[in-house]
Structure 1
Amino acid sequence: MQRRSFLLGMLTMIALAPIKVWAALWNRPAFEALKIKDATQYLNVSEEIPSGDIVIVAPERAENGAVVQIEIRSNIQNTEAIAIFVENNPTPLIANFMFGDGAEPFVVTRIKMAETSDLKIVVKAGSQYFTNAKNITVLENGCG
């Protein structure tokens, strides 16, 4: 009986190990920051360079802020990460996507927006950070 309990415990530990690895990669302070400035600081974003090579496809007006579909494409060589921020949300960092070698830096997702705000994108390429933004008018509040 002890052997069975031991094996079950080991299997549980092995199964949960990947969850602990992912949790270690999650930057909790950045996602819990209440201001974009703080969130970017936790992501170690230094000087941001404005760039038209970050393509944002998002509606000018969102009927319902609870579901706003956006597409982000980085045409910047060696893109490593794409971070999505919504300035007027309770916690502005929405997502931070990491890309491995050879991965196409393209994201399609749905986000929540509390109110009319800038959608800000920050792309990390090497030691540089590039940014682009688009204002989206929200007609019905999405965060509640």
Structure 2
Amino acid sequence: MTTRRQLLAALPLLVIARPAAATPDEMAATIATYTKNAKPANARVHIDIAKLIDNGNAVPITVRVDSPMTEQDHVTDIAIFNEKNPLPDVARFQLTPLSGKAEISTRIRLATSQKLTAVARTSDGQWWQQTVDVIVTLAACVEGEGI
């Protein structure tokens, strides 16, 4: 049985072992893995997010993709990536023509000011993306920093 004294002695190790933020290179590598090394074109994807974010704990984001969403031509996947959170792969969504429109909305946590990229895949295998910069004044995901 672990005593309170042993637990307190191990506490500094827990603080040192917390995950570091991802880097822009890690985000690019994660996107390349997701797209199987295809280069997404910078078109058709629209990210709706505030450019100045007061609090990074629950940031609303909407991603829309220009698509007719027919059986022959529709968006099959949308993913969101960021460069400075502990994990750059934020969220992934699967769509079908029954989704009605190529749009997702959610809330995400942001550690600090950074770039966000949304990537979409269409039923014919094309990849599309948009990247935006956001400024976060009060960070989420980072314990003990800036507080």
TM-score (norm 1): 0.71
Identity %: 23
SS at match of 2:97: coil
Say if 2:62 and 2:103, in contact at 8 Å, map to a contact too.
Answer: yes
Match for residue 123 of structure 1 among 115, 120, 123: 120
Report the Cα offset of residue 101 of structure 1.
2.5
Q: Which whole-Å CA distance do the structure 2 matches of 1:55 and 1:113 have between them?
A: 19
RMSD between aligned residues: 1.4
Match of 1:93 in 2: 89
| Cα distance, 1:102 vs structure 2 | 2.7
Match of 2:42 among 50, 55, 69: 50
Letter in 2 for 1:73: R
Residue deviations 1:92-131, cap 9 Å, x none? Answer: 1101101022312111110011110111110101211111
Aligned equivalents of 1:57 and 1:120: distance in 2? 11
Aligned residues: 110
1:68 aligns with 2:59: yes
- Structure 2, unmatched stretches of 5+, are 1-21, 69-73, 143-147
Match of 1:114 in 2: 111
Segments ≥4 residues shifted beyond 4 Å? none
What's the CA shift for 1:82?
Answer: 0.5
CA distance in 2, matches of 1:37, 1:133: 12
Give TM-score, length-normalised by structure 2. Answer: 0.69
